[in-house]
Structure 1
Amino acid sequence: MSASTHTTDATPASPAPVLSIAPVALPVPGRPVDLEMRISAPVTGDDLPVLLLSHGQGPSNHLSSLNGYAPLAHFWAAHGFVVIQPTHLSSRTLSLDPATPGAPMFWRSRAEDMRHIIDRLDEIEAAAPHLRGRLDRDKIAVAGHSMGGHTAGLLLGAMLTDPDDGAEVSLADPRVKAGVLLAAPGRGGDAINESVAEMFPFLTTPDFSRMAAPTLVVAGDKDDSTHLTNRGPEWHTDPYVLAPGPKSLVTLFDAGHGLGGVSGYDVAETTDEDPGRVSAVQRLTWAYLRAQLFPGDGAWQSACDALLTGPDALGRVESK
């Protein structure tokens, strides 16, 4: 499938075979270990947009690494994206010393991983020769689930106050043209439980008011993350509510934090397993990014009409 092909359907016409290579390793000065990633791409097509996917921090060992999120990564790659999945320092697969600076969540390093990847796409192409000359560097997007949503939000323009020195931190990258936040953390302050504020103080000061890049926020109306917040499921809509447009919010009915199971196939930590819901997330996120990166593409409106309207709607959508 050519990345420049437009569609007016809620799904692409046909998936392409996908070639995936892992691990591709980039040495990064000062990073405790090399930055390893999985790269997945359709076997055909040129001028392919690039989509960086940041993993979350669930209880499983390998979902929070380049080996997770297959339902999303494979779908996006099969329908025209080059998907790059870094293993952040927060991954359990690395077994880093808990005293490592930035542990346990490595919020700053996570965002820096994404920027390193964009900086070094030439090296990544060289490590994956089947990609050589096929990337469109003017069409770069980010996506992330849960903690990965926090990471992606920083690239899209969200800010925070560094709990170590009180400095305001901006890690926005103008090369990132659009993004998708899946079950991402919301605002801080009194919305954060006291124990969480002590363990993860960076979650207490997010500022979405300058997250200006086009972004789709996806939240589940049953995602009651009581271990983090007392605000209920609406907390996960904050990146939409508190940010300037252009933004869209999809609220999925009866969806929990796993949004049906986006982090992996048949994983035990998914409390709301629903293949139909995962399919909707695949199609909606793909369609949104198509519309943002390829002006005139009708996929987003078609996907909303097919999946979010009528008596069988899987959720609701609003935009600003």
Structure 2
Amino acid sequence: MPRRVTPTMLITALLLAALAGCSTDVPVRRAPAAPEPAASATPTPQVPAGHAPENPYPVGVRDLKLNRDGRALPVRIWYPALGEDGPVRPGLLGAHGRFPVVMFSHGLGGRPDDYATLLTRWARAGFVVAAPTFPHTSTGADNNVLDVLNQPADVSYALDQVLALDATADDPLQGRLDADRVAAAGHSAGGVTTIGLFTANRDERLDAGVVFAGTALGVGTAFAGAAAPQLFVHGELDEVVEYAAGKAAYDKVPWPKAMLSLPKGDHGRTMLKDKAALRVVSDTSIEFLRWSLYGDAAAKKRIPTGAKRGGIATFDNHL
């Protein structure tokens, strides 16, 4: 049965509403509860040192039809592929090698394809990006914002199924997935989902997180488990999730962290549509993922350079 949500307070902050509440079910892979974190030393990422690919890949795309206890969870996957560079297309074999996996969560009233430009750039850089379509918060659904609290478990379930492809005979991704290098990312309600994967619904497989225009309402800031570097991205003119709410969640992260702030940025249109802003966001997030998932020290040094390009953003760096 789907997890049932018991809200304790509903307020208008996350798109049309925001939730501060709890779930009555036991979340998957829950880590022991942690106290509100204090400032601490920043350890290194939990992945071995390595080098990210230097040259871009062609990108393939495929879909999985998943269902978690009656919750339909179709998943779109963008992945590094073999062949000549060109438009993203289905049916391509995965590129040779083993690639980190990034689970991406869309916002309320959204869908994975809304973020295709950004997610395709991640795939070209050497990441397998898997994005579920959530049953109650996607385009055309009932937009039940309370269901956001069920989404961390959806992501963990989808991650189970995606990683299983590595051992599935004749699958385009057979032997291409690195289960020891995994991150979660998401925008808006998907940002709440992502924070939840590091707090109340801690999935210990996750080595890093990227939160776009997110807030900790409903999932809390009791970050738990092994250190997992976090990158927050937020527009200072966000009309849906106030910048201060995102910054408050960021401030509670006890691990290596950085926040990319867009002084002229709104809730997401600037990030996804403005070419200059998109370049800064994509360059910064790619270098962050290269460092946190590939263990690429040179990429870590490049993160501030991309973040400050063109004077579009400011960058708080505690990585």
TM-score (ref. length: structure 2): 0.72
Q: Determine if the alignment matches structure 1 residue 253 to structure 2 residue 263.
A: yes
State the partner residue of 1:130: 172
Structure 1 contact 88–109 (Cα < 8 Å) conserved: no
Counterpart for residue 112 of structure 2: 66
**Aligned equivalents of 1:261, 1:317: Cα separation in 2:** 15
- Structure 2 counterpart of 1:121: 162
How big is the shift at 1:149?
0.4
Q: Distance in 1 between matches of 2:311 and 2:66?
A: 43
Cα drift, residue 123 of structure 1: 4.1
What residue number does 1:185 align with? 215
Which residue type is aligned with residue 215 of structure 2? P
Task: Say if 1:142 and 1:178, in contact at 8 Å, map to a contact too.
Answer: yes
| Aligned-partner Cα distance in 1 for 2:170–2:220 | 37
The runs of 4+ residues in structure 1 deviating greater than 4 Å are none
> CA 1:95/1:184 → structure 2, altered by over 3 Å: closer, same or farther?
closer
Q: Relative contact order, CA 8 A, sep 6+: which one is greater?
A: 2
Cα pair distance change 1:127/1:171, threshold 3 Å: farther
Return the offset for 1:95.
Answer: 3.8
Equivalent pair of 1:222/1:255 in contact (CA under 8 Å): yes
Q: Distance in 2 between matches of 1:307 and 1:119?
A: 33
Determine the structure 1 residue equivalent to 2:238.
223
Structure 1 CA distance, aligned partners of 2:230 and 2:252? 12
> How far is 1:279 from its partner?
1.2
1:298 match: 298
Q: Residues 109 and 206 (structure 1 numbering): CA distance in 2 closer, same or farther, change over 3 Å?
A: closer
CA distance in 2, matches of 1:38, 1:128: 19
Q: What is the alpha-carbon root mean square deviation over aligned residues?
A: 2.5
Alignment-derived partner of residue 314 in structure 1: 312
Q: C-alpha deviations, 1:171-223, integer Å up to 9, x for none?
A: 1011001010001025xxxxxxxxxxxxxxxx3x5421425531111111221
CA contact (8 A) 1:90 1:105 kept: no
Provide the residue aligned with 1:51 in structure 2: 102
Q: Report what 1:149 is aligned to.
A: 191
SS in 2 for 1:281: helix
Alpha-carbon contact 2:183-2:207 (below 8 Å) kept: yes
1:90 aligns with 2:116: no
User: Take 1:318 and 1:176, find their aligned partners in 2: how far apart are those partners?
Assistant: 23
Q: TM-score, normalised by structure 1?
A: 0.72
1:218–1:250 contact (8 Å) kept in structure 2: yes
Structure 1 stretches of 5 or more lacking a match?
59-63, 158-169, 187-202, 263-272
Assess, with a 3 A threshold, how the Cα gap between structure 1 residues 207 and 128 changes in structure 2: closer, same or farther: farther
Tell me: CA distance 1:221–1:127, structure 2 relative to 1, closer, same or farther (3 Å): farther
How many equivalent residue pairs?
Answer: 254
The CA deviation at 1:66 is 3.4
Q: Partner of 1:180: helix, strand, or coil?
A: strand
Structure 1: distance between partners of 2:300 and 2:177: 23
Q: Percent identity?
A: 29
Displacement, 1:242?
Answer: 2.2
Aligned to 2:4: none
